[in-house]
Amino acid sequence: MHKPHIPLEELEHKAEACRACPLYEGRTNLVFGVGDPHARVMIIGEAPGKNEDLQGEPFVGAAGKYLNELLGYAGLTRDKVYIANVLKCRPPGNRNPRPEEIEVCTPFLREQTRTIDPVFIVTLGNFSTRFILKTDQGITGLHGRVQQAGHFKVFPVFHPAAALYDRSKQDLMKEDFTKLGQLLQAASAHADSDVDTSTQD
Ligand code: SF4
């Protein structure tokens, strides 16, 4: 029997009360996630940075502005996707998430993903890619190629913050998000033809 999906508001309340790792002590705000709860595309980053912690929303600083621009190459806008991070509280000094923090925090992400049930998961950078794909492979070898994780199509790309000041990565990001747009169109066309076939007499 399938477990019922937990509503996002209920999950967010649970995360607000979470004391499972020491990161809650330093946070200004929990950064749970934002966007369309029925999105076909879920974007997963690493952890909140300074601006995200202050505003309680993922990807609001320079990397967020760049992400919005990249979404445009895929024919998407920020309000059409759902954006979340692997960790919900800011690591001090923007250090990398620690394995024990990822372990105790990711049940929230897992439930978010089950509830939103997107068609595509776009993982940004090494941490979310490794977590979603259960791999040790790095983003450099994985970006821009569709992978499968359960019934989700996973599309890894570099983290926008890493590409922000690296011209060579910016070209790859543009290519990858353009490809994502093509994949989304193809998936829509496929879904439409399934509907046509299923509604034929
Ligand atoms: S980072 Fe995650 S596990 Fe740690 S306190 Fe915040 S919500 Fe809880």
Q: Is 24 in the pocket of ligand 1 (CB under 6 A)?
A: yes
Q: Is 73 in the pocket of ligand 1 (CB under 6 A)?
A: no
Residue nearest to atom 4 of ligand 1 (CA): 21
Q: Where does the pLDDT of residue 60 fall: very low under 50, low under 70, confident under 90, or very high at 90 and above? A: very high
Q: Is 89 in the pocket of ligand 1 (CB under 6 A)?
A: yes
pLDDT digits (tens, 9 = 90+) for 89-130: 999 999 999 999 999 999 999 999 999 999 999 999 999 999
Please list the alpha-helical segments (H only) found in the chain: 8-16, 50-55, 62-73, 99-116, 125-133, 139-142, 160-163, 167-199
CA dihedral 73, 76, 79, 85 (to 10 degrees): -70
Q: Say how far apart CA 16 and CA 24 lie, in whole Å.
A: 9
Q: Tokens 């496929």 — which residue?
A: 190
Q: Is 87 in the pocket of ligand 1 (CB under 6 A)?
A: yes
> Does the pTM of the predicted model rise above 0.85?
yes
Q: Is 122 in the pocket of ligand 1 (CB under 6 A)?
A: no
Burial bucket for residue 91 (CB in 10 Å: 0-12, 13-18, 19+): buried
Please list the alpha-helical segments (H only) found in 28-119: 50-55, 62-73, 99-116
Q: Is 47 in the pocket of ligand 1 (CB under 6 A)?
A: no
Distance (Å) from CA 17 to ligand 1 centroid? 9
Residue nearest to atom 1 of ligand 1 (CA): 89
Domains of the chain, start order: 8-194 (3.40.470.10)
pLDDT digits (tens, 9 = 90+) for 127-165: 999 999 999 999 999 999 999 999 999 999 999 999 998
Look at residue 198 in the predicted model and tell me its pLDDT: 52
Q: Say how far apart CA 146 and CA 7 lie, in whole Å.
A: 28
